[in-house]
Amino acid sequence: MTFAVLTTALDALRDVSAAVDDRQLDDPTPCSEWTVAQVLFHAAGDQRAWASVVGKAELPSYNPFDPPLRLEAGVQKTVAEAIDAAAAVWAGVDPEVSSVPTPLPPVPELAPALAAGACALDAAVHAWDVAVALGRPTPLTGALAEQLLAAAHATVEPLRGFAYAPALPAEPGNDAAATLLRYLGRDPRWTPPAR
């Protein structure tokens, strides 16, 4: 794929999804309203939404902002198929075109690299959500976060209160990943509640 940041983010989402055990599907996540399964179904739905707008792919069969607890296809298959659809669509995007459409109503189009970054932002941050919920190492490296900051600054503000919580104050010593997470309204030190 032409957009390396998107490849990295989609790989992170695929890897974290593949690591989920069925007993973890109902575990809490940093997205306080959603379980591990719901975050993954949301992330899969978002990738399908991007693919349907940027290219020709099917929309998800459910509302990504009201994700189900379970789907017959299961989490891993649903996520893998959405990632495959996204990768196929983005492979056909010419990075030299002036803009590509987005599924973000307040930001209807972006330059290709920025749009790919916004799509990657969604995948990478939800991969982080699930990884920390499962107590796994974060896939959101400093290098990846640095690549995603421009897309975050281009898309997040008009979506605050709907897709993103209010930004958290910066703290001394924040690395790029913590800076990005705080900008998105996530606490980089979030851990699952004790059982």
Q: Region 118-122: what's the mean pLDDT?
A: 98
Residue 49 lies in a domain: yes
Give the model's pLDDT for residue 1.
Answer: 66
Q: Region 10-35: what's the mean pLDDT?
A: 97
Residue 164 lies in a domain: no
Residue 147 lies in a domain: no
- 99: pLDDT confidence band, cut at 50, 70 and 90? very high
Residue 149 lies in a domain: no
Domain span at residue 132 reads 4-140
Give the model's pLDDT for residue 83.
Answer: 98
Report the domain count for the chain: 1
What's 104's domain CATH number? 1.20.120.450
Residue 160 lies in a domain: no
Question: Assign residue 140 a region: left if phi > 0, alpha if psi is -120 to 50, beta otherwise?
Answer: beta
Q: Are 159 and 172 in contact (CB under 8 A)?
A: no
Residue of 122, 135, 125, 130 whose CA lies nearest to 35:
130
**Average pLDDT score over the chain:** 96
d(CA 32, CA 66): 13
pLDDT over threshold 90, residue 195 = no
Residue 101 lies in a domain: yes
Give the model's pLDDT for residue 44.
Answer: 98
d(CA 48, CA 1): 17
Percent of the chain predicted with pLDDT > 90: 95
pLDDT over threshold 80, residue 25 = yes
Q: First vs last Cα of the chain: how many Å apart?
A: 42
pTM for the whole structure? 0.96
Q: Region 153-161: what's the mean pLDDT?
A: 94
**Which pLDDT tens digit goes with each residue over 57-80?**
999 999 999 999 999 999 999 999
Q: Per the structure block, which two tokens stand in for 35?
A: 């379980």
Residue 123 lies in a domain: yes
Give the model's pLDDT for residue 152.
Answer: 98
Q: Region 139-154: what's the mean pLDDT?
A: 97
Residue 157 lies in a domain: no
Task: Give strand pairing partners of 35.
Answer: 28
